[in-house]
Structure 1
C-alpha cells in the first residue's frame, strides 16, 4: 500500500524532529528547511526526502510542492522569527524580515499546499490537512516582542481565513497555539517545577489527533500548554 505523503517545513531538532518521527510511522516524508545539517539527522532516522528551502521565496515554495512525489496529505509549517527590543528602538528592516518568515512564509506554504491538495480527489471526503505552528504571541502581545506578535497574529488570522474557505472543500486547516516553553534539546526544566515544559513528543501526538479528526468535528485552533502555565 502506498503511504500518504507529509511535508514538514522548518525541519530540525525538537518539535520538528518529533513530528517527523510521529508521521514517519505511516507517511512518506519530505522535510524542508533553510539549513541542511539539522535536517540531515532527522532524515536519516525517518527515511525522509530533504529539500533546501527559503520559505519566504515563492519560487522556492512553489517548486517544493510541484516536485513532490505525490500530492501531500499533510503539510506542517513550523518556522518563525523573533526580533526583541523596545518598539521605539526596533529596526524596520529586521522587523520586516522576521514578519516575512512567520507570516509570509506561512501564507506561501498555505497557498501552494492548498493548490496541490485541491488537485486531488477526496478520500473519505477529505483532501488533506494543513497545520501552522503558532504561539501564545498570536493571542496576546508581550512587551519587547512586537515583531513576533505581528507575525503570529497574522499567521493565526491566515489559518482561520483558510479554514473557513477550505474546510468546505475537504481541506482541514488548523493553527496550534504552543502556549509555553518546549523542552527542546539543550533545555532543562527547573528542579522545583518538573514537567513544566511541553514535551515535543506530546505535542506531536496532538498534531496527529488533528490530522485524524473526523470532518464532522474539525478544530481550526488548538491550544497546548503545560499544567503549570497561566492563561
Structure 2
C-alpha cells in the first residue's frame, strides 16, 4: 500500500469528532488506524471510509491501558504491512459530565484523569518514540473549554484537560526542534455529535443554525494543522461556533 499512517485514538460513534477525523485523514490519503473501545462503533467507521474509497482498520483500544496503546503503535509499525511509518497521531479520548464537587469520589476523579490526561501521555509518548527517529510527524491533542478554565461542577474534567494541555506544551517544546509538530485544539463549545445530542436532544434546536461546532469543520482544522509548513506551526488553536461567547 505504501500509504502514510494516521492513528486516531478515542473514536466512538460515527457522528462524532473522532470518526470525522478518521474520515478526513483517509480522504487525504492516509491509512487510518481507528482506535476505540467499542468494536461495533469503530468497525462502522471503517466501513464508511472503505465505501468512500479509503483504507482503514479497526483496533479495539482502551487508551488508559499502557499495553493497549503500545500494541496499537506496534501494529502501525509492523513489518510486512506495506504501510509507511506513522505520519499523524490524534489523541481524542475524553469524558465529560456535570458532577457537584462534593459528590466526586476519589475513584471517579481518577477515572476522569485517566481518560482525559493519562491516555494523552501514553499516546503522546508512543507517538514520539516512533516519530523522533524519523524527524517528522504530527501529534494533535483534543482539548476543551475546561483546558483553560474550571467551571462549577466540572473540577474532575477541568483538572484532566488542563493536565493534557501541559503535556501538549511540554511535548511541543521538547520535540518541535526534532521535527515533530505537536498541537493542542481547544474545542470551546458544544459539538454537534451523537454524544451531546443524545444527552440533550433539544440542544441543536436551541442553539440554532451553526450554533454548535460541526464535526467536519473541526476535523478539517486538524487536517490543516497537519499540513502546515514547519516555518509557521500552530501549537494551540481554539475553535467555537460564531454564537459562542468568549
User: Which category of TM-score, normalised to the shorter sequence, fits these structures?
Assistant: over 0.9
Is residue 214 of structure 2 the alignment partner of residue 199 of structure 1?
yes
Q: Distance in 2 between matches of 1:52 and 1:194?
A: 35
The change in CA–CA distance for 1:191 and 1:88 in structure 2 (over 3 A counts) is closer
Shift of 1:11: 1.2
User: Which stretch of structure 1 is more off in the superposition, 213-222 or 66-75?
Assistant: 66-75
Shift of 1:59: 1.4
Conserved 8 A contact 1:83-1:94: no
Unaligned runs of 5+ in 1: none
Conserved 8 A contact 2:143-2:186: yes
* More helix per residue: 2
Conserved 8 A contact 2:37-2:61: yes
The change in CA–CA distance for 1:41 and 1:168 in structure 2 (over 3 A counts) is same
Number of aligned residue pairs: give it.
226
What secondary structure, in the 3-state scheme, does the structure 1 residue paired with 2:205 have?
coil
What secondary structure, in the 3-state scheme, does the structure 1 residue paired with 2:142 have?
strand
> TM-score, normalising length from structure 2?
0.88
Shift of 1:71: 2.3
- Counterpart of 1:28 (choices 18, 21, 31) is 31
Shift of 1:82: 3.0
1:144-196 residue CA offsets vs partner (Å, 9 max, x unmatched): 11010000000001101100111000000011000011111473522672210
Shift of 1:81: 2.1
Q: Distance in 2 between matches of 1:207 and 1:165?
A: 21
What secondary structure, in the 3-state scheme, does the structure 2 residue paired with 1:67 have?
helix
- Counterpart of 2:159 (choices 116, 140, 150) is 150
> TM-score, normalising length from structure 1?
0.93
Is residue 98 of structure 2 the alignment partner of residue 89 of structure 1?
no
Unaligned runs of 5+ in 2: 50-54, 79-83, 198-202
| Matching residue of 2:81 | none
Q: Distance in 2 between matches of 1:109 and 1:12?
A: 17
User: Which stretch of structure 1 is more off in the superposition, 133-142 or 6-15?
Assistant: 6-15
4+ residue stretches of structure 1 with deviation over 3 A?
A: none
What secondary structure, in the 3-state scheme, does the structure 2 residue paired with 1:204 have?
helix
Q: CA RMSD of the aligned region, Å?
A: 1.5
Shift of 1:83: 5.2
